[in-house]
Amino acid sequence: MSISIHPSAVIEDGAVIGDGCDIQAGAVIGKHTVLGERVTVYPYAIVGGDPQHLTFDRATPSGVRIGNGTVIREHVTINRAAKAGENTVVGERCFLMANSHMGHDCVVADDVVLANNVMLAGHVQVGSFTFVGGGAGVHQFARIGESVMISGLSRVGQDVPPFSLMAERNEIIGLNLLGLKRRGFSREAIREIKEAFRMVYFTPGNIREIAAKHLTGPLASTPEVRRFLAFFTEGKRGVARPRREPRIHLPRVT
């Protein structure tokens, strides 16, 4: 495979460009950045820029890792990690639309889509197959689970559990059933995720303790449900919750 680099692109000393990459006009690839194979960087994107951190020492050896097949559109900014030896990470086959921003030390898994103008603050984690709608802002250290769909202009200040739909400000409005079906989840897995969702959110008590209790019980009979329940037992921020009964049909647990 060949590498295509436009004459006006800037590739700093120390950057690594994988086979089949396409670096277009005006793009900047910072030092200590590693691009996997077949990564496309559109005009004027900046990959590996310094963290937006007041006390950051520019001599700090940190970087960015971009997975195979990821597309980085116009004016995207991806900051390198703030700690020595660490990396801001983007997985494989991700699609970062124009003007989206990833702060330092973010970790974005495979097959994630960030729509136009999405803002990820530092240390944000995003699970695989998640879609973040245009203009959404995510607070630092927030975790977003796998197969989540976040509506445009949402404000994410708490952790968002896997397989869910989130809108407005930390409001869970149901499960991302269409996304689960597109991923090929079985009917049984989806039924059990629904049951676990209701059990966690609509049982009185501490949400983390409820999830931990059922993580080792009969409800966690599929790996998908175990990942859903385990998410609540981890992290340090609060967890986004429904403000009312979800808008999808969920079987009640007896």
Q: Catalytic residue, from 122, 127, 145, 179: name it.
A: 122
Nearest in space to 20 (alpha carbons), one of 43, 41, 4? 4
Alpha helices (H) along 98-186: 177-182
Nearest in space to 52 (alpha carbons), one of 133, 120, 136? 120
Is 32 one of the catalytic residues? no
Nearest in space to 102 (alpha carbons), one of 45, 28, 62? 45
Is 174 one of the catalytic residues? no
Q: Catalytic residue, from 105, 123, 137, 145: name it.
A: 105
Distance CA 183, CA 51 (A): 34
Q: Catalytic residue, from 75, 104, 123, 214: name it.
A: 104
3-state secondary structure of 153: coil
Angle at 140 between CA 139 and CA 146, to 5 degrees: 75
Distance CA 183, CA 57 (A): 42
Distance CA 176, CA 199 (A): 17
Is 122 one of the catalytic residues? yes
3-state secondary structure of 100: coil
C-beta of residue 52 within 8 angstroms of C-beta of residue 79: yes
Distance CA 190, CA 18 (A): 38
Catalytic residues: 104-105, 122
